[in-house]
């Protein structure tokens, strides 16, 4: 497994956490245009706040945790 795969997974997870609520609302039957427009604008701003460094830190933590667990098992697995 590659480090960039783990980093991409953390990025996609964060994006889905931000856009998940609006996605569910836009699929609902009680949709109002003004509420949807406000939600889209708010989510756009939230996406602009996402910082790459936090994802890098989370991915590095995950890699070190998994590598520690792999050392205690007999699995032949490597994260590069």
Output the tens digit of pLDDT for each of the chain's 80 residues: 677 788 788 888 888 888 888 888 888 888 888 888 888 888 888 777 776 667 778 788 888 888 788 778 766 666 66
Q: What are the backbone dihedrals phi and psi of residue 9, each rounded to the nearest 5 degrees, phi first? A: -65, -45
Q: Where are the domains of the chain?
A: 3-71
Residue 26 in tokens: 């836009």
pLDDT at 16: 86
Distance in angstroms (rounded) separating the CA atoms of residues 64 and 34:
46
């Amino acid at each position: 497994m590659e480090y960039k795969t783990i980093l991409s997974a953390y990025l996609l997870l964060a994006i889905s956490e931000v856009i998940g609520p609006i996605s569910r609302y836009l699929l609902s039957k009680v949709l109002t245009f003004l509420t949807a427009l406000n939600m889209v604008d708010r989510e756009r701003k939230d996406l602009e706040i996402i910082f790459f460094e936090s994802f890098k830190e989370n991915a590095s933590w995950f890699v070190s945790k998994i590598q520690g667990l792999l050392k205690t098992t007999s699995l032949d697995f490597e994260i590069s």
